[in-house]
Amino acid sequence: MVRNYEVRRQYRMLIGGQWVESASGETLATLNPATEETLATVPFGTAADIDRAVAAAREAFPNWRAMEPRARGKLVAELAARLRAEAERLAYIEALDSGNPVSSMVGDVHMAADLMEYFAGLAAEIQGTTMPLHGGMNYTLREPYGVVGRIIPFNHPIYFAASRIAAALVAGNTVILKPAEQTPLTALEFGALIVDVLPPGVVNIVTGDGPRTGAPLVAHPQVRRIAFTGSVETGREILRAAAEQIKVVTLELGGKNPMIIFPDVDVEKAATTAVNGMNFRWCQGQSCGSTSRVFVHRALHDQFIEALVAGVRQIHLGWPTDPDTEMGSLVSREQYEKVMRYIDMGQREGARLLCGGGRPSGPEFERGYFVEPTVFDQVTPDMTIAREEIFGPVLSVLVWDDEEELLAAVNGVAYGLTAAILSVDLARAMRWAEQVEAGYIWINGSSRHCVGAPFGGQKQSGFGREEALEELLSYTQIKNVQMRYRLD
């Protein structure tokens, strides 16, 4: 049971341990996408607020850095425990602000806490190396960068807000977090837990949009490292802006991820795996890791689409705050219109609409950005819906019979984030795993992440790895010290 929690109408943002308005006094409204009504307002942070946040983060840095990594880890673990204790309330606010189903958002909170605990435990892995040197030794130190800017998207707001600052903190950096303009509330709610656990200024949360809030954060000369999760277009802009100061950047961007189905698998199970892989039930398919291009072998095709459509029809669309809801509303009118344009384009380019394709019917769906789970068949690799990321509940089925052509089609997109390979022949699946251009591959599975396994992309899906030791180390820079025992 999830009960109704109260949501404040006006929020402030967190700078230097204080709850503050924006310097300009401007605010930004965030909607409940299921009702299209304003849910609350948050400060509209601009360059002046980024300056304040950077000053606070810089002030907090020396003491934070001076702590032993394990001591920082303990505080991050404490924060994870408080997050878990608030899971239901945060998930409820998340459902209101993002349109994601409340039950899956409870899962997101716990997943974020899992990662925080994982990074807390990794604190002792911040290690260097030593090398012999005649009359001395050579050793390395892994040092934090200083102030890190963390920019996150709207699809998993609390998950990203909590999980994606943990490594930077354990490594000894102080952080400025910039949540997405569509979904700023849970990050601010998380801020209320942060002020009880971390020293002031170690984490600052500045709300606002991309151009006026995110861009000055990226451009700030005292922000030494930027980590970004979001669209390719914005990633490109951030990389360009960061070039000015040779700033270290990692990018986790979009995907147009393939699922490859070989004819030796159980067709019903393959269909279930394809439905799960599309993340309809997690965030209405608004996920960079969704396997949205399903390549099914011709021998299975007819049975597969029958099972797939039956599976998709079982998805329970409903009010995001209803605990039984499996699929809620898209996050904004902009996303809704974008998804509808792609659905229209799919039909015009000759794909066959198998199910969905519009707004669900019923009085509860008269408002809000609800879109039915949608499946296209007879999609070909040249079609727009097979090449571009839709970031919504639209799955494309492509049929294959020749392995060479299949590989060309699978790798023939600009993205390379995830891929799924379904086959009982593990030798073949492993060979394919080597050939597919993607950073994260499932063999006989889809969608699930594994704490400690490196997540990230190839090609235009970005670079850098998260959720693993690599993420922790990416928030450190190596310093080499060449030491002789005496001067002679």
Identify which of residues 206 and 420 has a Cβ nearer to ligand ADP in the complex: 206
Q: Which among 313, 317, 321, 269 has a CA at the least distance from the CA of 445?
A: 269
Footprint on this chain of ligand ADP (rule: CB under 6 A): 151-154, 178, 180-181, 209-211, 214-215, 218, 230-231, 234, 237-238
Which residue is listed with tokens 């909607």?
A: 31
Q: Is 207 in the site for Mg ion (CB under 5 A)?
A: no
Instruction: Give residues with Cβ within 8 angstroms of 325, minimum separation 6.
Output: 101, 102, 103, 316, 317, 318, 319
Instruction: Compare residues 62 and 211 and give the one whose CB is closer to ligand ADP.
Output: 211
The site partner of 30 among Mg ion, ligand ADP, none (C-beta below 5 to 8 Å per kind) is Mg ion
Minimum distance from CB of 153 to Mg ion (Å)? 13
Residue 458 interface partner, choices Mg ion, ligand ADP, none, CB cut-off 5-8 Å depending on type: none
Half-sphere exposure of 5 (CA within 13 A, CB side): 20
Annotate 92-108 with b (16+ C-beta within 10 A) or e (fewer).
Answer: bbbbbbbbbbbbbbbeb
What residue 384 binds from Mg ion, ligand ADP, none (CB within 5 to 8 A, per partner kind)? none
Footprint (CB under 5 A) of Mg ion, residues 4-63: 30-31
Tokens of 277: 């892989």
Which residue type does 150 have?
A: R
Least Å distance, CB 179 to ligand ADP, is: 6
Q: Which is nearer to ligand ADP, 245 or 272 (CB)?
A: 245
Of the two residues 179 and 254, which places its CB atom closer to Mg ion in the complex?
179
In angstroms, give the least distance from the CB of 30 to ligand ADP: 12
Please say which residue, 211 or 362, places its beta carbon nearer to ligand ADP.
211
Cβ 460 vs Cβ 232: under 8 Å? yes
Query: 9: number of CA atoms within 13 Å, CB side?
Result: 2
Residue 97 contact, options Mg ion, ligand ADP, none, Cβ 5-8 Å cut-off depending on partner type: Mg ion
Residue 237's binding partner among ligand ADP, Mg ion, none (Cβ under 5 to 8 angstroms by kind) is: ligand ADP
Cβ(130)–Cβ(178) below 8 Å: no
Our measurement of the distance from residue 186's CA atom to the centroid of its chain's CA atoms, rounded to an integer in Å, reads 15
User: Binding segment for Mg ion among 71-79, 135-143, 180-188, 404-412 (CB under 5 A)?
Assistant: 180-188
> Nearer to Mg ion by C-beta: 30 or 287?
30
Q: What is the DSSP string of 303-342?
A: HHHHHHHHHHHT--B--TTSTT-SB---S-HHHHHHHHHH
Choose the contact partner of 181 out of Mg ion, ligand ADP, none; CB within 5 to 8 A by kind. Answer: ligand ADP
Q: Of 50 and 409, which has the nearer Cβ to ligand ADP?
A: 50
Residue 330 CB, shortest distance to Mg ion, in Å, is 11
Q: At a CB cut-off of 8 Å and minimum separation 6, what does 234 contact?
A: 210, 214, 228
Which span (95-103, 319-327, 375-383, 434-442) binds Mg ion, by CB under 5 A? 95-103
- CA end-to-end distance (rounded Å), the chain: 74
C-beta nearest to Mg ion: residue: 30
From the list ligand ADP, Mg ion, none, partner contacted by residue 88 (C-beta under 5 to 8 A by kind) = none
Choices 91-99, 121-129, 219-227, 477-485 (CB under 5 A): range interacting with Mg ion: 91-99
Distance CA 270, CA 49 (A): 50
Contact 54, 220 (CB under 8 A): yes
Closest CA to 183 of 62, 30, 409: 30
Q: Count residues contacting Mg ion (CB under 5 A)?
A: 4
The least CB distance from residue 235 to ligand ADP, in Å, is 7
Say whether residue 181 binds Mg ion (CB under 5 A). no
What the block records as the tokens of 197 is 């656990």
Say whether 205 sits in a helix, a strand or coil. strand
d(C-alpha 196, C-alpha 179), whole Å: 20
Positions marked active-site = 252, 288
Which C-beta is closer to ligand ADP: that of 73 or that of 464?
464
Residue 170 binds which entry of ligand ADP, Mg ion, none, CB below 5-8 Å type-dependent? none
Q: What is the spatial distance between Cα 1 and Cα 238, in angstroms, rounded to a whole number?
A: 42
* Closest distance of CB 26 from Mg ion, Å: 17
Q: Confirm or reject binding of residue 97 to Mg ion (CB under 5 A).
A: yes
Tokens of 437: 């251009």
Cβ atoms within 10 Å, residue 204: 31
Among residues 66, 439, 65, 455, which one has the least CA distance to residue 224?
A: 65
CB of 208 to ligand ADP, least distance (A): 7
Q: Other C-beta atoms within 10 Å of 329: how many?
A: 29
Chain centroid offset of residue 112 CA = 11
Tell me the closest approach of the beta carbon of residue 30 to Mg ion, in angstroms: 4
Q: Binding to Mg ion (CB under 5 A): which residues in 125-164?
A: none
Interface segment toward Mg ion; rule CB under 5 A; list 60-68, 81-89, 106-114, 174-182: 174-182
| Contact footprint for Mg ion (CB under 5 A) | 30-31, 97, 182
